[in-house]
Structures are given as C-alpha cells and as structure tokens.
Amino acid sequence: MGDSARLTVQGGSIQSNTAASTGGGPATFGTTVLGGTTVRGNRTVNLEGGGIVTAFGPLTLNGGRVTGNEAATYGGGIVNLGLGSTLRLRSTTVDHNVSKIDGGGLYHQAGTSVLVGDRVLRNHAEGQGGGIFRVDGSLVLTRAPVVQNTPDNCAPSGAVPGSTQWRLVGQAPGCPGLADRFGGKEMRWGERQAMARITPFG
C-alpha cells in the first residue's frame, strides 16, 4: 500500500498468504486501520514481518488478533520499521507467532509503538525477544502483559518499559517492569489463570 493511500478493514481475516520479501500479510506505507480483524497464518520466505509490516504512516489495530504467522528473519507477528510509521494496538492479542531471528511477536526497529490493553503471549523467536524485540525508537505499554513467550519475553533486557496488572511468578526473564505487582497480588501460571487473569481490563 502506497504512502498516500488509506486502508480500513472491519472484521474478517487476512490469512494464509506468503511473501517472498517483506510482509506476509499487509505491508503498509500509508494509513491503515484494522478493526476486529484476524491476521493469521501468513509467512515471509526471505525477510521480516510474517504477519504485518508498517514502514510509513499510522497503523492501528483495534480489538483484533495477530496469530500463527512466521517470518524468515525478524518479527513473526508485527514489524514496525519506523521510517515515519506509528503503530497503535488496542485490545489486540499477538500470539503463537514465530521469527527465525528476533522478535517473535513484535519487532520494533524505530518510530513509535503504543500498546494499550493488549496481550503478547506464546510467541517464539529463534534469537531473542520471543514476545518483543526493540532496537530503537519509542515503545510504550499500558496494561499490556507480555508473558509465556520463548526463549524470553522481551529483549534486550530493560529495553521494553511497561506494566501489567499482575505479577507472574516464575516467568522467563527479559521484561523488567512487565511483571510488576498490582495491589500486592501475585499469580502462578496456569492455563485457566491465563484466560481468567491475563485478559486486559481498564
């Protein structure tokens, strides 16, 4: 999509696509809004962004899911290249994505990424940052748990500020500040607890 274009998708899914280079699903260079849309099962053969790549302009995901995508290099789920792009996620789940290098769920190279009330979980990177890998730029998380990713949740260590509403006991290291206390409560991990207590709420 070109830098002067605008794309709005409400509902539905973008799935089972393959790109030789970048962006197995949408590769956005303009203004893009995905509302309640599932981006699933897309892949790249050579480069980054198995699910979505944004380079220029704002990309907004509201209440959707980015799941089961695979990148040959960076960012199994989402890549923000930051060449003038702003990524905004709200109440979106990023899960079960895989990258062959870094950033299984989200690879933030530059620019601005803002996550509010999202979940980044059960993603995998063969390098670092199973949940999120940050290179540079601004990355802000609010009530956005990054949990149960492998081999770690975030990388480099200390590069991803933010908070969750629960302290997750025994989780993989890598997201200082992302496993903080909330009201003195702690939670031990389990599938039922994950569904009950890692759902974002305001």
pLDDT at residue 138, rounded to an integer: 93
Alpha-carbon distances of 130 from 16, 110, 181, rounded to whole Å? 22, 18, 22
Q: Mind listing the pLDDT tens digit of every residue in the chain (202 residues)?
A: 555 678 899 999 999 999 999 999 999 989 999 999 999 999 999 999 999 999 999 999 999 999 999 999 999 999 999 999 999 999 999 999 999 999 999 999 999 999 999 999 999 999 999 999 999 999 999 999 999 999 999 999 888 876 333 344 444 444 643 433 333 333 333 333 343 333 332 2
| Bridge partners, residue 125, by sequence | 99
pLDDT at residue 4, rounded to an integer: 62
**One-letter amino acid identity for 199?**
T
My answer on whether omega of the bond before 151 falls inside 30° of 0, hence cis, is yes
Q: What is the DSSP letter of 185?
A: B
Alpha-carbon distance of 48 to 135, in angstroms, equals 14
pLDDT at residue 175, rounded to an integer: 60
Q: How many CA atoms lie within 13 A of 191 on its CB side?
A: 0
Tokens representing residue 178 in the block: 């992302």
Alpha-carbon distance of 46 to 185, in angstroms, equals 44
Q: Is the dihedral of CA 34, 95, 22, 175 positive or negative?
A: positive
Q: Is the dihedral of CA 108, 113, 117, 118 positive or negative?
A: negative
pLDDT at residue 89, rounded to an integer: 97
